[in-house]
């Protein structure tokens, strides 16, 4: 049975709450429309809304400005105006699930207790069946943390839920034992809790540089160890493009958007929003499932990179690949609960047809593909047009080309990651398919490596990327076969692009 999620409170942002337009949001038509968000959309502003949003920042002062701010948040056009620094006003209970990581636990608890910016009400360590329970208890005792113990391992979801049930504060932070939060990490996250519909907010997770003495002896303070550069090739690759790092831009978190999930390695949650919490029957992807259930119930989930948490990325190649394959098996579980939300490929029928024609390699196919995109741009221009005005053909054409480029990258990524068994079969049967697949794999590696070229070499990066994709794809297919459910492998169509026409919240101009 799926854990229940309570209904959210009325969507009324408090007076004084402020939002700021995303730096990628563009004003159009003389300031009467905003273009941006994820998925990309065009939002028309009524005269009252234009009066309220004179600049890039909007402060909530009444019901009208609260409704507009909420709409900007939910479309991804704006984000809460967070000012890092200071001390978190609300007390936080910290929950740490752990199994056989006493040294790492000691390091984490030292960081939590040494952080002057976090008003920590209590720290609860949930020992999920560690072989050496005494070592875990000793590490917790050194930092005044309470210990709950499961005699046998029940999984991270059950461990987090056990800590959640003991919390008495409204805000609960979940931190995995292989994490180290930076000082003041909770301040920016707690700021989001002023939104009554905020259920979860996640920090950015970056690579944790290790000290030369770790992990041979416990660390007695933080941050007292001498830092050294990341050494292993897996560590360097993970530091550049870890699956836990959601990037430098704040975002709403929801299926089908730029940030579709956040990992449970570090989260700040509103206890009253979580209901029964994580699904304890899931040993993988339980964090994605919780995020999607909260969003479906009407709660907000946010990603806030102004707060950062260091994470010990794996350095052993075998362990790293096994973990990637294990993560891949979670897609079938998510498909059973959330259907097309887990689709590995999302592209419009227009883009699918255009790319299919273009990949034939024939001139006629390319010409027909261009005709398909022209028709798509014409149709979109009509949808974007305001009454009595000429359709914005230039804007529509730019958006169609942008979308087609994104679709091409999605298809290329699918060929090397999600659907590589099919791509490999095609390559074995066709010389042309082999050339296309080799070109796609090389281009994907180079384009992904280029922003990180100063920190990791191309040969190592390319090898790691291909190995990671092979492992994740193998886990994805194995999970689908084991569940006898192919939905985790099937493509889906995006929502239609055009002006946002849904009914606005009460009070929205």
Whether a cis peptide bond, with omega within 30° of 0, leads into 223 is yes
pLDDT at position 87 is 61
Ranking 3-7, 79-83, 84-88, 191-195 by mean pLDDT, the lowest is: 84-88
Token duo for residue 24: 């990628």
CA–chain centroid gap for 332, Å, is 18
DSSP code per residue over 285-308: SHHHHHHHHHHHTT-EEEEEEEEE
Q: What angle do CA 216, 222, 227 make, to 5 degrees?
A: 65
Task: Give the phi and the psi of residue 442 in degrees, each rounded to 5.
Answer: -70, -45
For 155, counting Cβ atoms within 10 Å of its Cβ (0-12 exposed, 13-18 middle, 19+ buried), the class is buried
Q: Are 289 and 277 in contact (CB under 8 A)?
A: no
Assigned CATH class of 92-315 = alpha beta
What own/partner pairs with CB < 8 Å and gap ≥ 24 does 459-462 have? 460/233, 460/236, 460/237, 461/236, 461/237, 461/240
Ranking 150-159, 251-260, 262-271, 499-508 by mean pLDDT, the lowest is: 499-508
Single out the residue of 409, 410, 349 nearest to residue 376, CA to CA. Answer: 349
- Residue bearing tokens 């080799």: 438
Say if residue 212's pLDDT is above 60.
Answer: no
pLDDT at position 233 is 77
pTM for the model stands at 0.90
Q: Is 371 left (phi over 0), alpha (psi -120 to 50) or beta?
A: alpha
Q: Are 189 and 200 in contact (CB under 8 A)?
A: no
- pLDDT, one tens digit per residue, over 164-205 is 999 999 999 999 999 999 988 888 899 999 999 999 999 999
**Please, what is the end-to-end C-alpha distance for the chain in angstroms?**
41
Single out the residue of 315, 351, 329 nearest to residue 209, CA to CA. Answer: 315
How confident is the prediction for the chain on average, in pLDDT? 89
Beta carbons within 8 Å of 317's beta carbon, 6+ residues apart:
234, 467
Percentage of residues of the chain with pLDDT beyond 70: 91
pLDDT at position 502 is 37
pLDDT at position 355 is 87
**What are the residue ranges spanned by the domains of the chain?**
18-80, 92-315, 349-489
Instruction: Please state, in angstroms and rounded to a whole number, the distance separating the CA atoms of residues 416 and 420.
Output: 5
- pLDDT, one tens digit per residue, over 389-442 is 888 899 999 999 988 888 899 999 999 999 999 999 999 999 999 999 999 999
Beta carbons within 8 Å of 479's beta carbon, 6+ residues apart:
328, 329, 330, 331, 332, 333, 488
Single out the residue of 330, 414, 15, 398 nearest to residue 155, CA to CA. Answer: 330
CA distances from 124 to 88, 140, 263 (A): 19, 9, 20
pLDDT at position 352 is 87
- pLDDT, one tens digit per residue, over 246-304 is 999 999 999 989 999 999 999 999 999 999 999 999 999 999 999 999 999 999 999 99
- Residue bearing tokens 């579709």: 260
Instruction: Please state, in angstroms and rounded to a whole number, the distance separating the CA atoms of residues 104 and 472.
Output: 27
What is the β-pairing status of strands 92-98 and 120-128? parallel
Q: How many CB atoms lie within 10 A of CB 121?
A: 15
Say if residue 508's pLDDT is above 50.
Answer: no
Instruction: Please state, in angstroms and rounded to a whole number, the distance separating the CA atoms of residues 436 and 355.
Output: 13
Instruction: Please state, in angstroms and rounded to a whole number, the distance separating the CA atoms of residues 21 and 73.
Output: 9
Q: How many CB atoms lie within 10 A of CB 498?
A: 15
Instruction: Please state, in angstroms and rounded to a whole number, the distance separating the CA atoms of residues 35 and 457.
Output: 37
Beta carbons within 8 Å of 168's beta carbon, 6+ residues apart:
93, 121, 122
Beta carbons within 8 Å of 209's beta carbon, 6+ residues apart:
227, 228, 229, 230, 310
3-state secondary structure of 372: helix
Confidence of residue 349 (pLDDT cuts 50, 70, 90): confident
Token duo for residue 182: 């930076």
pLDDT at position 88 is 63
Ranking 6-10, 338-342, 385-389 by mean pLDDT, the lowest is: 385-389
CA atoms in the 13 A half-sphere facing the CB of 487: 15
Q: How many CB atoms lie within 10 A of CB 235?
A: 22
């Amino acid at each position: 049975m799926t854990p229940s999620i309570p209904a959210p409170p009325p969507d009324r942002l408090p007076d004084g709450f402020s939002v700021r337009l995303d730096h990628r949001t563009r004003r159009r038509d003389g300031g009467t429309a905003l273009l941006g968000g994820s998925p990309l959309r065009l939002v028309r502003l009524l005269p009252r809304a234009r009066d309220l949003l004179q600049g890039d920042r909007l402060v909530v002062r009444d019901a009208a400005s609260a409704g507009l701010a909420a709409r900007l948040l939910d479309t991804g056009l704006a984000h809460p105006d967070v000012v890092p620094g200071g001390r978190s006003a609300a007390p936080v209970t910290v929950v740490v699930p752990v199994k056989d990581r006493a040294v790492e636990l000691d390091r984490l608890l030292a960081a939590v207790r040494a952080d002057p910016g976090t008003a920590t009400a209590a720290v609860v360590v949930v020992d999920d069946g560690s072989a050496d329970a005494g070592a875990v208890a000793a590490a917790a005792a050194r930092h005044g943390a309470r210990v709950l113990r499961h005699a046998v391992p029940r999984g991270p979801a059950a461990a987090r839920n056990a800590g959640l049930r003991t919390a008495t504060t409204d805000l609960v932070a979940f931190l995995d034992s292989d994490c180290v939060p930076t000082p003041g990490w909770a301040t920016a996250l707690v700021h989001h809790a002023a939104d009554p519909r905020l259920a979860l907010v996640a920090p950015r997770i970056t690579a944790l540089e290790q000290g030369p003495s770790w992990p041979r002896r416990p660390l007695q303070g933080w941050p007292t160890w001498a830092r050294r550069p990341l050494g292993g090739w897996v560590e360097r690759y993970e530091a550049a493009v870890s699956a836990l790092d959601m990037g430098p831009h704040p975002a709403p978190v929801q299926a089908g958007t730029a940030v579709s999930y956040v990992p449970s390695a570090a989260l700040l949650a509103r206890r009253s929003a979580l209901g029964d919490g994580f699904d304890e029957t899931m040993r993988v992807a339980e964090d994605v499932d919780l995020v999607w259930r909260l969003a479906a119930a009407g709660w907000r989930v946010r990603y806030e990179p102004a707060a950062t948490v260091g994470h010990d990325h794996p350095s052993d190649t075998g362990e790293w690949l096994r973990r990637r394959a294990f993560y891949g098996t979670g897609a079938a579980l998510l498909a059973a609960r959330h259907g097309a939300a887990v689709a590995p490929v999302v592209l419009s029928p227009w883009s699918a047809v255009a790319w299919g024609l273009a990949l034939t390699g024939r001139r006629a196919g390319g010409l027909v593909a261009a005709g398909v995109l022209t028709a798509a741009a014409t149709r979109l221009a009509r949808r974007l047009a305001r009454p009595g005005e000429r359709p914005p053909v230039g804007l529509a054409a730019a958006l169609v080309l942008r979308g087609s480029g994104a679709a091409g990258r999605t298809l290329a990524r699918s060929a090397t990651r999600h659907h590589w068994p099919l791509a490999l079969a095609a390559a074995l049967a066709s010389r042309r398919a082999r050339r296309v697949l080799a070109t796609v794999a090389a281009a994907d590696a180079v384009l992904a490596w280029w922003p990180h070229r100063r920190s990791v070499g191309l040969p190592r990066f390319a090898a790691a990327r291909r190995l990671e994709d092979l492992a994740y794809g193998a886990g994805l297919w194995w999970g689908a076969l084991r569940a006898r459910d192919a939905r985790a492998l099937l493509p889906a169509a995006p929502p239609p692009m055009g002006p946002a026409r849904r009914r606005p919240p009460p009070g929205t101009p």
